Amino acid sequence: MLVDTYGRVATDLRVSLTDRCNLRCTYCMPEEGLQWLAKPDLLSDDEIVRLVEIAVSRLGVTEVRFTGGEPLLRPGLTGIVERCAALAPAPRLSLTTNGIGLKRTAAALRAAGLHRVNVSLDTLRPDVFKTLTRRDRHRDVLAGLEAASEAGLTPVKINTVLMPGLNDDEAPQMLAWAIDHAYELRFIEQMPLDAQHGWTRDGMITAGDILTSLRTRFTLTPEGDDRRGSAPAERWIVDGGPHRVGVIASVTRPFCRACDRTRLTADGQVRNCLFAREETDLRAALRSDAPDEEIAALWRQAMWGKKAGSGLDDPEFLQPDRPMSAIGG
Ligand code: SAM
Ligand code: SF4
């Protein structure tokens, strides 16, 4: 198992399939994009499947989420999903995506064995979407969401980041809309993981702000910690139920004590935390023909060194060298 010195066990693997993206969300990337990883540096489809197999068969991983960058840009995605779904024991498979292209791919991904999707959508207003993501693709995301529901990639969850002066007035409308469409909405606090290092604590919308805004229209009752488990979202029952809304307060109410994540970057580096500054190179081991058990041992060692928390509250906090899009969100 992937255990750390604080007794946490990582069972939830995030696999980044690419660092590239077709959007340029302001809280994530600069307008001009980033220096993308070179193709030979990316793990191949075979290498990804081998690492996922090691994780599920030797290390106790039960959940695998594909992310990026934008994972739908990875040409071999459906094949990777299909091969991971056939592993024993079979992991739960999900995908975090901006939704562009999901209209075309949702049914095939479901057929390949994907269970669920999280789609990122920050606004219901096309003009605000264009400002926030620097691309005019709002309609494509809405179409992707619909296709995901129709394909049975449910519950479809929506990730929303609120940015001051742009979409921070939209929380209640977004919740009403999500309930109407049977999407499960979760707000995520903006984190210092943007490539431009533009995040400031004073300039972010906090979980407290989000809840205050939602309460102008809804009655929210805490679902309670016993239902939360290791899930990062604190959930509230909306207007007495059955609908829920989640808030992922990574900055103001971190959930590090219950963290069960392990992360693999698109170039084969294990990270034990989003905010870690160290990585462990599994790609080098893979490419030097290391046996599975040796790779598993490296992975265990990487997780053993996981810190107690993200360090966000430390005045000495240093943002990781890689931005969120290159780590895998
Ligand atoms: N491109 C896909 C997407 O947008 O869903 C997957 C990768 S993206 C890095 C994963 C999630 O991270 C998205 O929900 C996005 O909104 C979120 N994200 C990106 N940068 C963030 C930041 N600085 N703070 C909080 N969330 C962020
Ligand atoms: Fe792309 Fe996702 Fe980053 Fe937006 S948040 S720029 S969609 S990787």
Q: What is the structure's pLDDT at 211?
A: 98
- Closest by CA position to 89, among listed 118, 59, 69: 59
Q: What is the structure's pLDDT at 195?
A: 84
What ligand has the least distance to the C-alpha of 200?
1
pLDDT at 226 over 70: no
The angle at the Cα of 26, spanning 36 to 159, to the nearest 5 degrees, equals 95
In order of start, what are the domains of the chain with their CATH numbers? 12-327 (3.20.20.70)
The angle at the Cα of 163, spanning 327 to 239, to the nearest 5 degrees, equals 105
The band of 194, judged by pLDDT with boundaries at 50, 70 and 90, is: confident
21 close to ligand 2 (CB < 6 Angstrom): yes
pLDDT at 283 over 70: yes
Q: What is the structure's pLDDT at 76?
A: 96
Which atom from ligand 2 is nearest to the alpha carbon of 24? 6
Sign of the Cα torsion 135, 136, 138, 140 reads negative
Structure tokens at 221: 């009752």
Q: Please give the distance, rounded to the nearest whole angstrom, from the Cα atom of residue 96 to the centre of ligand 1.
A: 9
23 close to ligand 2 (CB < 6 Angstrom): yes
Q: What is the pTM of this model?
A: 0.96
- Which residues, including other chains, have CB under 8 Å from residue 216's CB and lie 6 or more apart? 172
Structure tokens at 31: 């307008």
How far is it between the farthest Cα atoms of the chain? 59
pLDDT (tens digit per residue) in 246-275: 999 999 988 899 999 999 999 999 999 999
Q: What is the structure's pLDDT at 315?
A: 73
Amino acid at 131: T
Q: How far is CA 77 from the centre of its chain?
A: 16
Q: Ligand 1 — pocket residues by CB below 6 A?
A: 21, 27-28, 67-68, 70, 96-98, 120, 159, 161, 188, 190-191, 193-194, 324-325, 329
pLDDT (tens digit per residue) in 145-183: 999 999 999 999 999 999 999 999 999 999 999 999 999
Q: Which residue has the higher pLDDT, 193 or 74?
A: 74
